[in-house]
Amino acid sequence: MEFMRIRLKDDIIIHKIISVHYFEFSKDYTFPGESHDFWELVYVDAGTAIATSGSDDIRMNRGDMIFHKPNEWHNLRADGVIAPNVFIITFECASSMMKRFRDRTFKIGNMQKSVISKILDESTRAFSSPLGDPYNNTLIRRPDAPVGCEQLIRQYLSELLILLLREDDIAIRSTLKSHVDNELFNYMLDYMAANISKHLTLDDIAVYANVSKSSVKRVFKAAAGMGAIEYFIKMKIECAKTYIREGNYNLTQISELLGYDSIHYFSNQFKKLENMSPSDYSKSVKALIR
């Protein structure tokens, strides 16, 4: 029997790290700014900080993360009110996926926070350099570091980046889906408006839109908060109100124009939605112009 060997693909490869820091800044902390030829990740773990990225000031609250791309001038300062806790790691990565982090900020969740904690934990095991010293940018290896610390730092940092990209993909798909649903909703509304005089069913709408009935229900529930037929009835009554205000048809004619089998059924639906009969609505409209 032959066995196929698959070389595992790496979408994110961390080549080197330059620094790992966890700062507990004062409320008045300010950093003059710098640029360097490697990536910098800044995460606000508590409080508030102002990050400058190029020429833009970005207010960062707890849970916010920003990436500074290589050779981008940047700085960081507290807001003078709330003392921030900030995690910063700088690293080299030439993977093409890194272009998705350029000029980006993220709001991270508990899963990503857990990975950051693992990076910090392994960093204290691997290096003797104090993580809270803003003037120290040299990592000194501990001679007694447990096996695999640096490898785990690389893996955890890769994991963090991958988690961010995956959540970003989900957000993109969600936005795209929302856009598609809105287009579908408007498409179905146009069909319903063009057939306002007919007895449309859920099947009719689904066939026209070339989707399932469950999809029609889902889209209308999300966009209008009600079912498609309920919305169609509402469209009929709104159209009836317009006809009444225009004064070109009597109530019987309006009922027929909107496809009702009887004026009694039309009046019942009108009253159910408007809390008054069509004749009472007509009187209220006339009263306004006297």
Convert the pLDDT of each residue in 26-49 to its tens digit: 889 988 889 999 999 999 999 999
How many whole angstroms separate alpha carbon 220 and alpha carbon 202? 11
| Amino acid at residue number 7 | R
H-state helical runs in 18-148: 110-126
290 residues of the chain, pLDDT tens digit each: 788 888 888 889 898 999 999 999 988 998 888 999 999 999 999 999 999 887 789 999 999 999 999 999 999 999 888 889 999 999 999 898 899 998 888 998 888 999 999 999 999 999 999 888 877 888 999 999 999 999 999 999 999 999 998 887 776 666 666 777 788 898 999 999 999 999 999 999 999 999 899 999 988 888 888 899 999 999 999 999 999 988 899 999 999 999 999 999 999 999 999 999 999 988 887 655 54
Instruction: Give the DSSP H/E element, type plus range, for residue 35.
Output: none
- Residue 88: predicted pLDDT: 95
pLDDT tens, residue by residue, 104-120: 889 988 889 999 999 99
pLDDT at 223: 83
Task: Write down the pLDDT at residue 77.
Answer: 92
What pLDDT, on a 0 to 100 scale, did the predictor assign at position 51?
Answer: 93
Distance of CA 30 to CAs 102, 272, 286, Å?
24, 64, 69
Enumerate the domain spans of the chain: 16-171, 195-290
Q: What is the pLDDT of residue 32?
A: 85
Task: Name the DSSP letter for residue 62.
Answer: T
Pairing of strands 48-53, 105-107: unpaired
Q: Is 50 exposed, middle or buried (0-12, 13-18, 19+ CB in 10 A)?
A: middle
The CATH classification number of 16-171 equals: 2.60.120.10
- Six-digit token pair at 280? 């009472």
The answer to whether domain 16-171 and domain 195-290 are alike in fold is no
Token reading at 266: 């039309």
DSSP state at residue 261: S
pTM of the model: 0.63
The class of domain 195-290 in CATH terms is: mainly alpha
pLDDT value at residue 109:
85
Q: Which residues 6+ apart lie within 8 Å of 151 measured at CB?
A: none
Q: CB of 48 within 8 A of CB of 39?
A: no
- DSSP calls for 178-206: HHHHHHHHHHHHHHHHHTTTS---HHHHH
